[in-house]
Structure 1
């Protein structure tokens, strides 16, 4: 299966993206398609690469444009917006002149001028409505352009009968031209507002550095393509340069601007040993930076990829809205037909025309279609500015169902760095233990590995369910493990070791036993502190009615002490990977749960949980399983995500309520079923335009919201 990504231009409404999806999914060999009107892009899953040309050809036949990979979607939208603006101004000019003749000059010449100007206004300024409607109809789809086109055609057809003397009533050429102006005005304001939603994506694209200065093997400075920077390269960053890879400062100091990544406009001073993110711009000074990973693996590249993928995903609620939107236009056309029949037999053709046109023009599928996707994209942008990557946007919808918050302890509720407190091993034994732990990535292992030497181990290393690391050489077998593993294996543990553990338990509850040939030779006691934001998060969860639970592989003393400090009543200790999975399943029987973790041993639990949070210090494999990645290792961001979910769905519900109530109230008024209220077609068109704009402006509130 291959993934095809395309940037698609000239989509005028959400129904455009839906029609592309429907048509492309019918192509044999296309297993799935997701098109975003807001992002002007699409993702297609293909069984073979040869289908790419067929997809592109089909999209073009629908009247849309395929942009090249390096095309800037925002620049394209700006050009389209400029064209729309000129068309709008010309349409308004035509409409004003036409209205002046309509209001003040009543003779054959005036009728002729209105006829000419009306046709220019409708069929020149509004030509895109007809073109898009015809192309949509040719592929058996209906959209907003269909409704606008039918309304304009009915106005022009009726006016032609009046112009040639078949009816002795009012000409509607001026009103038809006014309808075009109002619809164009609404589209202009809507597109202009939506451009603001793409500002974060635009900032990300700006961060691309074409070249990087690195020091070669001879110590000379040379320029290479930024994408070729690899781990360990020394990058020279001069004033105005953009960093192309995540790295650590090895020489110099300077102020860096990371506003395009986090929205923080104040430059920050960085010196030796400070970590930097790709995309940061050096404002002053000069730095030498060691690349910690290759450029293509930097966090900014991850963010760019997630921006694209997340923007294409749809929430469960949006799928329901899409189904409603797909039938909306057809239902409106059917309603307008019955409205025409009713008023034709009741009051004649003039009333039938007015009410039918008003129904066609006031109905707004765009407001309904925009209600969810625009709010979602803005929510994702807000999260990224706050150093939270939302990899699975659909999970935002599940927060309101959460009743349990399950936490790993070490590296999650506590700091990811442990410190050695005391041990009772000989110097040689402790040195060997440190070198063995150097081969493990667990936070406990890292704390001991700090004291390792350059000694190279040639024996066999194996990890057992995160409870032990075992090293075997030609003569002996060693294990660094917890107490549960000792009991399982039947290792010998004397009272001296137990007493040593008890004497240090209060200050250093994290314990690692050093085993040689099934006998405990000594104990290493470690201490670690709670993250400063842990208490505030637990307090917040309790107020929200969410029960916090600790699921840890650490010993009982360490876990109980942590739980007591945080005020957590439920905790489980000495857990294996399988144990964590079973506990997640157990809690899921009662309600939805979140899981927050950072280790490989948490991976299965993260995958199983309804919502998963991964700390940034986790491995790439573990990050790939998380719904949310906390880039700053800040547990407070979990609370932020709860609040963001509430705000996002509050905005979505407001949008859906407005779109629904607007159509529910306005369509009956336009149909003439409300006494003493009569709506002319051009006012109906104006109302339709501003209904979409209301949804856009309401969604834009998510751009700057903070919690």
Structure 2
């Protein structure tokens, strides 16, 4: 039997960290598969035996990372880590500036001593995490950016240290500022990256918010006992009142109610549930009371399965990120090997002093500041641009992946169409219509919301309203009785609706929700309501077609509604009556051949939002959907999706330009630093300055994204 282990992992500073954990843990005998997500700060391990849990934790801790306990708050942990990094960044910048000032303007032994002392703090205190991860990575044969950063800073400091004590005498210049500035630049990039990513880690912490903490269980003796929902087991009888949530999947054995099941179907209209009907955990009772017999444990419910899918989907790796990690690993290894070669070459040619100078210059000039800053600085600038244009980028990696999208998959309700109904046609007199609107205003039903904006008279009702679950409303005032509801309600009360029905059926294809209004058992008319398309939906689909992106609709709504929307938008491929697992399976299959974007807004969309290569949700979406989406549209404007593509394209261009500059810079400058260009001599000090210049170029290029519109 295979076991699945899930862990929260702290102190990961880059994607290379998650790769290191995967590589080391996959070597453990009995570990069949590993998936670690830097974005989610989590890992999923497929084990032959759960006894391996302790060994896996030990390996993770040996690499310098922290395994968080279940009760620990990952959000708070990350917040504290970000604060610590900010303090170290500010300290490093201040100390580096002071060291550079003394280096440039104040000479003498005291100045050199101050430079050495302050740079020691900047390098080995502010940058200690780089050294810790580099050292532990080397122990497990893992090379990453921490390795080069540590080598570059340490070599710069050590050379200056040896010069200060006159072990080397050929060049009396001190380069303490070089090592300190290396740490400052890299810390700046990491801080900006972590700050930009911080919000993308919130959604898993919010999963607990939809947990139903307590359940009321009916015991055999007729008494009621309140227990933790986690301990609800099969065949328990659960009592659920109006406004409460169902804690476990089961069958209704008594009562009837209208329930909100949007977490599963995405449809905002409630469903009528009665005795004998199945009901799922997470369903919310809008009105009525139910007695439910659980047919499985609460921890095995549909809601828990959705949460499990969210966790797994969040650990899927993108090919672009994996490729970048491999390039970085080879780059680090190549630079180290080259530095050793340079040292050996000059050692036999001119001695240890010259060898140390050239090897040091090689490491310093190829220090991956520009390479390390190429992506995060561009991403941060893009985040600022997005925020200014009502787009919240929760997962920065999406700005790279969105540019490669070939398939856009949409949920319907709340995404392409409005999340509320609107009145399409009616055959009521003005007086009757206003009376209907006033009565509906007393109800909290989703249909009632469509009438609120139609009110143009003061509400002055003194009668009594009754809710007929699954049918409609009864309002009594003085001697008059008003009925509002569906065809079933009217027929049950022997009300003739033929004339109104003929009128409403003319518009049923455009507005399928039909409502009848009767006064004293006489039908005075009816109203048909529709779920309208969002204003920008047509232009968005057209824009995507122009970009060569195909659109598909996946929805839990009915066939008639989805077909109507698809035809209006000229979308050829659409699917209806889908469950979250079916959506997820469809996306998994499509991702095997092309890059997929998913746009949705419901709890039921959360697994798909996490699995897709890129995902977009809305600020008014369900809490879980907002935490699962890569991009959140602050303003409910579908045209912003087109802008997301433009921003992604520009961001990817800037990142590529940054990486191109970083690699070309290294290709041109490393031979010079190594001393292989006979007519140019480059000291470690100049190498450090040139390295800083390359980083500044990357930053300035990235800042162009702030002005992009």
Which TM-score tier does this pair reach, normalised by the shorter chain? Answer: 0.5 to 0.7
Q: How does 1:69-218 map to 2 (within 5 A)?
A: 69=77, 72-73=80-81, 75-92=83-100, 95-96=103-104, 133=131, 136-137=134-135, 140=138, 142-153=147-158, 170-172=170-172, 174-175=173-174, 178=175, 180-188=176-184, 191=187
Aligned to 1:328: 331
Deviation (angstroms), 1:312: 11
Alpha-carbon spacing, 1:356–1:412, altered in 2? closer, same or farther (3 Å): closer
Tell me how far apart the structure 2 counterparts of residues 445 and 131 of structure 1 sit (CA, whole Å).
Answer: 58
Aligned to 2:249: none
Unaligned runs of 5+ in 1: 102-109, 164-168, 206-230, 233-308, 460-468, 479-493, 516-520
Aligned to 1:531: 534
Alpha-carbon spacing, 1:2–1:367, altered in 2? closer, same or farther (3 Å): same
Alpha-carbon spacing, 1:575–1:79, altered in 2? closer, same or farther (3 Å): closer
Tell me how far apart the structure 1 counterparts of residues 347 and 594 of structure 2 sit (CA, whole Å).
Answer: 57
Find 2:469's aligned residue among 457, 466, 479: 457
Alpha-carbon spacing, 1:325–1:446, altered in 2? closer, same or farther (3 Å): same
Secondary structure of the residue aligned to 2:150 is helix
Moved more, 494-503 or 686-695: 494-503
Alpha-carbon spacing, 1:499–1:401, altered in 2? closer, same or farther (3 Å): farther
Aligned to 1:546: 549
Deviation (angstroms), 1:400: 3.1
Unaligned runs of 5+ in 2: 67-73, 202-241, 244-311, 455-463, 472-484, 517-522
Q: Deviations over 1:304-337 (max 9, x none)?
A: xxxxx99999754333333333343442232122
Deviation (angstroms), 1:417: 2.9
Aligned to 1:208: none
Secondary structure of the residue aligned to 2:686 is helix
Please give the root-mean-square deviation of Cα atoms over the aligned residues, in Å.
6.1
Q: How does 1:158-307 map to 2 (within 5 A)?
A: 170-172=170-172, 174-175=173-174, 178=175, 180-188=176-184, 191=187
Aligned to 1:4: 8
Q: Deviations over 1:570-607 (max 9, x none)?
A: 44689443898999799889854544445688789768
- 1:669 paired to 2:672: yes
Deviation (angstroms), 1:667: 0.9
Q: Deviations over 1:652-679 (max 9, x none)?
A: 2122212211211111111223342221
Tell me how far apart the structure 2 counterparts of residues 695 and 322 of structure 1 sit (CA, whole Å).
Answer: 19
Secondary structure of the residue aligned to 1:525 is strand
State whether residues 25 and 56 of structure 2, in contact with CA within 8 Å, keep that contact through their aligned partners in structure 1. no
Aligned residue-pair number: 534
Find 2:651's aligned residue among 648, 652, 659: 648
State whether residues 670 and 679 of structure 1, in contact with CA within 8 Å, keep that contact through their aligned partners in structure 2. yes
Aligned to 1:487: none
Tell me how far apart the structure 1 counterparts of residues 630 and 677 of structure 2 sit (CA, whole Å).
Answer: 49
Tell me how far apart the structure 1 counterparts of residues 623 and 6 of structure 2 sit (CA, whole Å).
Answer: 22
Aligned to 2:220: none
Alpha-carbon spacing, 1:191–1:132, altered in 2? closer, same or farther (3 Å): closer
Alpha-carbon spacing, 1:593–1:22, altered in 2? closer, same or farther (3 Å): closer
State whether residues 559 and 573 of structure 1, in contact with CA within 8 Å, keep that contact through their aligned partners in structure 2. yes
Tell me how far apart the structure 2 counterparts of residues 609 and 68 of structure 1 sit (CA, whole Å).
Answer: 27
Tell me how far apart the structure 2 counterparts of residues 591 and 59 of structure 1 sit (CA, whole Å).
Answer: 35
Alpha-carbon spacing, 1:195–1:114, altered in 2? closer, same or farther (3 Å): closer
State whether residues 553 and 573 of structure 2, in contact with CA within 8 Å, keep that contact through their aligned partners in structure 1. yes
Moved more, 409-418 or 521-530: 521-530
Tell me how far apart the structure 2 counterparts of residues 418 and 318 of structure 1 sit (CA, whole Å).
Answer: 42
Tell me how far apart the structure 1 counterparts of residues 64 and 586 of structure 2 sit (CA, whole Å).
Answer: 52
State whether residues 37 and 43 of structure 2, in contact with CA within 8 Å, keep that contact through their aligned partners in structure 1. yes
Tell me how far apart the structure 1 counterparts of residues 612 and 120 of structure 2 sit (CA, whole Å).
Answer: 56
State whether residues 390 and 628 of structure 1, in contact with CA within 8 Å, keep that contact through their aligned partners in structure 2. yes
Deviation (angstroms), 1:181: 0.9
State whether residues 42 and 312 of structure 1, in contact with CA within 8 Å, keep that contact through their aligned partners in structure 2. no
TM-score (norm 2): 0.56
Deviation (angstroms), 1:616: 5.1
State whether residues 186 and 686 of structure 1, in contact with CA within 8 Å, keep that contact through their aligned partners in structure 2. no
Alpha-carbon spacing, 1:118–1:170, altered in 2? closer, same or farther (3 Å): farther
Secondary structure of the residue aligned to 1:577 is coil
Secondary structure of the residue aligned to 1:650 is helix
Tell me how far apart the structure 2 counterparts of residues 132 and 146 of structure 1 sit (CA, whole Å).
Answer: 10
Deviation (angstroms), 1:85: 4.3
Tell me how far apart the structure 2 counterparts of residues 114 and 360 of structure 1 sit (CA, whole Å).
Answer: 26
Deviation (angstroms), 1:455: 1.7
Tell me how far apart the structure 1 counterparts of residues 666 and 366 of structure 2 sit (CA, whole Å).
Answer: 6
Secondary structure of the residue aligned to 1:454 is strand
Aligned to 1:489: none
Tell me how far apart the structure 2 counterparts of residues 316 and 609 of structure 1 sit (CA, whole Å).
Answer: 13
Alpha-carbon spacing, 1:68–1:588, altered in 2? closer, same or farther (3 Å): closer
Alpha-carbon spacing, 1:26–1:148, altered in 2? closer, same or farther (3 Å): farther
Deviation (angstroms), 1:683: 0.5
Secondary structure of the residue aligned to 2:637 is coil
Tell me how far apart the structure 2 counterparts of residues 555 and 5 of structure 1 sit (CA, whole Å).
Answer: 44
Q: Deviations over 1:193-228 (max 9, x none)?
A: 7656677789999xxxxxxxxxxxxxxxxxxxxxxx
Find 1:632's aligned residue among 616, 631, 635: 635
State whether residues 14 and 369 of structure 1, in contact with CA within 8 Å, keep that contact through their aligned partners in structure 2. no
TM-score (norm 1): 0.56
State whether residues 355 and 671 of structure 1, in contact with CA within 8 Å, keep that contact through their aligned partners in structure 2. yes
State whether residues 659 and 691 of structure 1, in contact with CA within 8 Å, keep that contact through their aligned partners in structure 2. yes
Q: How does 1:551-566 map to 2 (within 5 A)?
A: 563=567
Deviation (angstroms), 1:632: 3.3
Tell me how far apart the structure 1 counterparts of residues 316 and 381 of structure 2 sit (CA, whole Å).
Answer: 13
State whether residues 562 and 575 of structure 2, in contact with CA within 8 Å, keep that contact through their aligned partners in structure 1. no
